[in-house]
Chains A and B, each alone.
Chain A
Amino acid sequence: MVERLKIRRLARGGQGLSAALVAAICLWPSAARAQGSAAQSHEHEATGDVREYPSLKIAGFGDVNFFATKRVEGPRGFNLGQFVLHMTSELSPRVTFFGEVSLSARSDAGTGTPPATGFNTEVERMILRFDYSDQLKVSFGRYHTPINWWNTAFHHGQWLQTTITRPEMIQFGGRFLPVHFVGALVEGTTPAGGLNLGYQAGIGNGRSSVISRGGDPGDTNGKRAYLANVFAKPNWAFGLHLGGSVYADTVTLANARVFSERILAAHVAWQKETPELIAEFASVRHEEAGSPATTNHAYYVQAAYRLPEPAHLWKPYFRFEHIGVDASEVVFATVLRLDGATVGMRFDLSQYAAVKGEYRSWTRGEGTVRNHGGFFQVCFTF
Chain B
Amino acid sequence: MRTMSRCSSLRPLLLALGLWLVVSASPAPVLGQDQDIAVIVHRDVPVDNLPLTELRRILLGDREFWSAGMRVTLLVRAPVARERDVAIKQVCQMTEAQFRQHWIGKVFRAETPSGPKIVYSNEMAIDQVSRTPGAITFIEKNLATKAMKVLKIDGLLPGQSGYKVH
Instruction: Give me the interface of A with B, judged by CB distance under 8 Å.
Output: 6, 9-10, 13-15, 22, 25, 35-36, 38-40, 42-46, 50-51, 55, 57, 59, 61, 86, 88-90, 93-94, 96, 98, 125, 127, 129, 131-134, 152-155, 157, 160, 189, 191, 194, 196, 233, 235, 238, 273, 348, 351, 381
Contact = CB atoms under 8 A, between A and B. Distances in A.
Contact of A13 (B62, B123, B131): B123
A129 B113 CA distance: 10
A365 B123 CA distance: 64
A153 to B, nearest CB: 7
B120 A160 contact: no
Contact of B108 (A10, A59, A131): A59
Interface string B92-104: 0100011011011
B56 interface: yes
B114 to A, nearest CB: 6
Given A10-B120, A196-B62, A42 B115 contact: yes
Nearest to B52: A235
Contacts of A351: 97, 100
Interface in B96-154: 97-98, 100-101, 103-105, 107-110, 113-121, 123-124, 128, 131-132, 135
B128 A39 contact: no
Given A42-B115, A43-B115, A50-B117, 9 more contacts: A13-B120, A15-B121, A25-B80, A39-B79, A88-B107, A88-B110, A133-B65, A238-B56, A238-B93
Contacts of A13: 120-121, 123-124
B19 interface: no
B79 A42 contact: no
Contact of A50 (B105, B107, B121, B128): B128
Contacts of A127: 110
Contacts of A43: 76, 103, 115-118
Nearest to B93: A238
A50 B135 contact: yes
A6 B108 contact: no
A39 B64 contact: no
B110 A98 contact: yes
Those 3 A-B pairs whose CB atoms lie nearest each other, nearest first: A46-B117, A98-B110, A13-B121
Contact of B62 (A6, A189, A381): A189
B84 to A, nearest CB: 9
Interface string B62-105: 11110110010101101110000000000001000110110111
B53 interface: yes
A132 B104 contact: no
Contacts of B103: 42-43
Contacts of B98: 273
B100 A46 contact: no
A98 B63 CA distance: 19
A90 B128 contact: no
Given A39-B100, A46-B119, A22 B80 contact: yes
A25 B79 CA distance: 11
Given A42-B100, A44-B115, A36 B64 contact: no
B101 A44 contact: no
Contact of A51 (B57, B62, B63, B73): B73
A42 B107 contact: yes
Contacts of A381: 104
Contact of A131 (B64, B78, B107, B135): B64
A131 B148 CA distance: 29
B46 to A, nearest CB: 13
Contacts of A152: 109
A358 to B, nearest CB: 20
B118 A46 contact: yes
Contacts of A35: 79-80
Interface in B17-69: 53-54, 56-57, 62-65, 67-68
Contact of A36 (B54, B71, B78, B104): B78
A39 B97 contact: no
A6 B132 contact: no
B53 A153 contact: no
A189 B60 CA distance: 14
Contact of A39 (B62, B71, B78): B78
A50 B100 contact: no
A154 B20 CA distance: 60
The CB with the most chain B CB atoms within 10 A, among A50, A94, A189, is that of: A50
B64 A129 contact: no
Nearest to B54: A191
A194 B52 CA distance: 11
Contacts of B120: 6, 9-10, 13, 45
B23 to A, nearest CB: 29
